[in-house]
Amino acid sequence: MDQVDQVQDDDTLDEEVVLDQPRLKLVRGALEDRDAMALDDLLEPLHGADIADLLEQITEFERQTLIELWSGHIDGEILSELDEGLREEILSSLPAEDVAEAVRELDTDDVVDLIENLDDQSQAGAILGALDDADRVAVERALTFPEYSAGRLMQREVVIAPSFWTVGQAIDYLRSAEELPEQFYHVILTDPRMRPVGHVTLGKILSTAREVPLSDIEEDSFRTFYATDPESEVAYAFNQYHLISAVVVDEDDRLLGVITIDDAMSVLDEEAEEDILRLAGVDSEGSLSDRVLGTVRRRFPWLGVNLITSILASLVIAQFDAVIAEIVALAVLMPIVASMGGNAGTQSLTVAVRALATRDLTGANVWRVIRREVAAGLINGVAFAIVMGIVGVVWFGNPMLGVVIGVAMVINLGVAGLAGVGIPVALEKVGIDPALASGAFVTTVTDVVGFFAFLGLAALWLL
Amino acid sequence: MDQVDQVQDDDTLDEEVVLDQPRLKLVRGALEDRDAMALDDLLEPLHGADIADLLEQITEFERQTLIELWSGHIDGEILSELDEGLREEILSSLPAEDVAEAVRELDTDDVVDLIENLDDQSQAGAILGALDDADRVAVERALTFPEYSAGRLMQREVVIAPSFWTVGQAIDYLRSAEELPEQFYHVILTDPRMRPVGHVTLGKILSTAREVPLSDIEEDSFRTFYATDPESEVAYAFNQYHLISAVVVDEDDRLLGVITIDDAMSVLDEEAEEDILRLAGVDSEGSLSDRVLGTVRRRFPWLGVNLITSILASLVIAQFDAVIAEIVALAVLMPIVASMGGNAGTQSLTVAVRALATRDLTGANVWRVIRREVAAGLINGVAFAIVMGIVGVVWFGNPMLGVVIGVAMVINLGVAGLAGVGIPVALEKVGIDPALASGAFVTTVTDVVGFFAFLGLAALWLL
| pLDDT per residue as tens digits for the range B303-329 | 999 999 999 999 999 999 999 999 999
Instruction: Tell me the C-alpha to C-alpha distance, in Å, between residue A5 and each of A12, A14, B61, B194.
Output: 10, 14, 61, 13
* Average pLDDT score over residue span B107-131: 85
Residue A7 lies in a domain: no
B253 C-beta neighbours (distance < 10 Å), count: 18
Phi-psi region of A359 (alpha: psi -120 to 50; beta: other; left: phi over 0): left
CB contacts of B288 in chain A (<8 Å) are 351, 355, 360-361, 365, 369
Q: Is the pLDDT of residue B286 over 80?
A: no
d(CA B423, CA A138): 48
B120 touches chain A (CB under 8 A): no
Query: Based on the domain organization, do A318 and A443 belong to the same domain?
Result: yes
Cα separation, A375 vs A413, whole angstroms: 9
Q: Which domain holds residue A27?
A: 12-153
Is a pLDDT exceeding 70 seen at residue B3? no
Task: Looking at the structure, tell me whether residues B258 and B372 fall in a common domain.
Answer: no
Distance, in Å, from the CA atom of A450 to the CA atom of B96, rounded to the nearest integer, reads: 52
Residue A9: predicted pLDDT: 41
Q: Are B69 and B38 in contact (CB under 8 A)?
A: no
Q: Is residue B230 part of a domain?
A: yes
Asked whether the beta carbons of A105 and A99 are under 8 A apart, the reply is no
Per-residue pLDDT of chain A (463 residues; tens, 9 = 90+): 333 333 344 344 345 788 988 999 999 999 999 999 999 999 999 999 999 999 999 999 999 999 999 988 999 999 999 988 888 889 888 888 888 888 888 888 888 988 887 877 888 888 898 888 988 998 999 999 999 999 999 988 899 999 999 999 999 999 998 888 888 999 999 999 999 999 999 999 999 999 999 999 999 888 999 999 999 999 999 999 989 999 999 999 999 999 999 889 889 888 888 999 999 988 877 778 788 988 999 899 999 999 999 999 999 999 999 999 999 999 999 999 999 999 999 999 999 999 998 889 998 899 999 999 999 999 999 999 999 999 999 999 999 999 999 999 999 999 999 999 999 999 999 999 999 889 989 999 999 999 999 999 999 999 8
The answer to whether residue B153 sits within a structural domain is no
Separation CA B423–CA B437 (nearest Å): 9
Instruction: Mark yes or no for CB contact A207/B310 under 8 Å.
Output: no
Specify if B384 maps to a domain.
yes
Residues B38 and B103 in one domain: yes
Angstrom CA distances, A281 to A304, A306, B335, stand at: 11, 10, 19
Query: Which backbone phi and psi does A417 adopt, to 5 degrees?
Result: -65, -45
Is A222 strand, coil or helix? coil
Rounded Cα–Cα distance for residues A454 and B316 (Å): 20
From chain B residues 323-352, the ones with a CB under 8 A of any chain A CB are 324-325, 328-336, 338-340, 343-344, 346-347, 349-351
The count of other CB atoms within 10 Å of the CB of residue B244 is 20
pLDDT value at residue B85 = 80
| Contact assignment for A335 to B306 by CB distance below 8 Å | no
Q: Which of A20, A57, A211, A455 to mutate to test the interface with B (most CBs of B within 10 A)?
A: A57
Asked if B183 lies within 8 A of A203 by C-beta distance, the reply is yes
Name the residue among B286, B302, B343 with its Cβ closest to that of A281.
B343
Is residue A284 one of the residues assigned to a domain?
A: no
> For position A13, what pLDDT does the model report?
36
CA dihedral A89→A94→A96→A101, nearest 10 degrees, is -110
Distance CA A446, CA A121 (A): 46
Concatenated DSSP letters of B292-343: HHHHHHHHHHHHHHHHHHHHHHHHHHHTTHHHHHH-THHHHHHHHHHHHHHH
Domain boundary among A119, A153, A187: A153
The reported pLDDT for the residue numbered B193 is 93
pLDDT at B12: 43
3-state helix, strand, coil in chain A (%, to 5): 70, 5, 25
How many other CB atoms are there within 10 angstroms of residue B276's CB atom?
26
B128 within a domain of the structure (yes/no): yes
| A15 to B277: CB separation less than 8 angstroms, yes or no | no
The whole-angstrom separation of Cα B78 and Cα A432 is 33
Q: What is the mean pLDDT of residues B369-388?
A: 95
- Tell me how close the Cα of B426 comes to any Cα of chain A, in angstroms: 17
Sign of CA dihedral B118, B120, B125, B130: negative
Distance separating alpha carbons of residues B340 and B351, to the nearest angstrom: 17
Q: What is the mean pLDDT of chain B?
A: 90
At B46-98, the pLDDT tens digits run 999 999 999 999 999 999 999 999 988 999 999 999 988 888 889 888 888 88
> For residue B411, which amino acid is it?
I
CA distances (Å), origin B29, targets A102, B24, B25, B56, B74:
59, 9, 6, 17, 20
Closest residue in A to B371 (Cα–Cα): A292
CA angle B335, B336, B340 (to 5 degrees): 115
Which carries the bigger pLDDT value, residue B50 or residue B13? B50
What separation in angstroms does the CA of B204 have from each of A33, A155, B184, B209?
Answer: 43, 19, 14, 10
Touching A: B residues 201-260, CB under 8 Å: 201-203, 205-209, 220-224, 238-242, 244, 253
* B2 falls within a domain: no
Question: What single-letter amino acid sits at A276?
Answer: I
Q: What angle do CA A361, B356, A18 make, to 5 degrees?
A: 115
Name chain B contacts of A307, Cβ cutoff 8 Å. 336, 340, 384, 387-388
User: With an 8 Å Cβ cutoff, are A295 and B174 in contact?
Assistant: no
Q: Residues with Cβ < 8 Å from A362, sequence gap 6 or more?
A: B21, B24, B57
Residues B330 and B275 grouped into a single domain: no
Name which of A218, A351, A386, A443 to mutate to probe chain B: the one with the most chain B Cβ atoms within 10 A of its Cβ: A351
Q: Which of A121, A138, A153 is the last residue of a domain?
A: A153
Check CB contact under 8 Å for A332 and B318.
yes
Amino acid identity at B360: D
- Whether residues B257 and B300 share a domain: the answer is no
Does residue B450 share a domain with residue B404? yes
A350:B282 CB<8 A: yes
Residues β-bridged to residue B161: B189
Alpha-helix residue ranges (DSSP H) falling in A59-189: 60-70, 76-81, 84-93, 96-104, 108-115, 121-130, 133-144, 150-153, 167-176
The alpha-helical segments, DSSP class H, found in A230-291 are 231-241, 261-279
Q: Could you tell me if B316 and B221 lie in one domain?
A: no
Chain B, residues 408-427, CB within 8 A of chain A, namely: none
Residue B9 pLDDT class (50, 70, 90 cuts): very low
Q: Do A108 and A81 have their domain in common?
A: yes
**Range scoring the smallest mean pLDDT among A245-254, B23-32, B124-133, B381-390:** B124-133
- Whether the Cβ atoms of residue B217 and residue B167 lie closer than 8 Å to each other: yes
Sequence-distant (≥ 6) Cβ neighbours of residue A222 within 8 angstroms: A196, A198, A199, A247, B12, B15, B16
Pairing assessment for the beta strands A196-201 and B224-226 based on DSSP bridges = unpaired
Output the pLDDT for position A248: 96
Using the beta-carbon criterion (under 8 Å), do A339 and B306 form an inter-chain contact? yes
Question: Cβ A8–B268 below 8 Å, yes or no?
Answer: no
Residue B161 one-letter amino acid: A
Do B179 and B75 belong together in one domain? no
- Kindly state whether residue A285 falls inside one of the protein's structural domains: no
pLDDT at residue number A48: 93
* Interface predicted TM-score (ipTM) of this complex, two decimals: 0.87
The closest alpha carbon to A157, from A131, A185, A129, A176, belongs to A185
Q: Establish if A275 touches chain B: CB-CB under 8 angstroms.
A: yes
B contact test, residue of A295, A365, A391, A446 with most B CBs within 10 A: A295
Residue B290 or A397, more confident: A397
**Residue A427 sits in the same domain as residue A392:** yes
**Calpha distance A135→A141 (Å, rounded):** 10
| Number of structural domains found in chain B | 3
The H-or-E segment that residue A299 falls in is helix A292-318
Antiparallel, parallel or unpaired: β A186-190 and A196-201: antiparallel
Question: Which among A291, A364, A372 has the least Cβ separation from residue B24?
Answer: A364
Q: What is the CATH number of the domain that holds A62?
A: 1.25.60.10
Instruction: Specify whether A99 is located in the same domain as A168.
Output: no
Residue B311 shares a structural domain with residue B418? yes
What pLDDT was estimated at residue B88?
86
CATH label of the domain that carries residue B346: 1.10.357.20
Identify the domain boundary among A129, A153, A177.
A153
Q: How far is CA A191 from CA A341, B8, B285, in A?
A: 60, 10, 48
| Identity at A325, one-letter amino acid code | A
pLDDT of residue A156: 86
- Do A236 and B265 contact (CB within 8 A), yes or no? no
Beta strands B224-226 and B245-249, pairing class = parallel
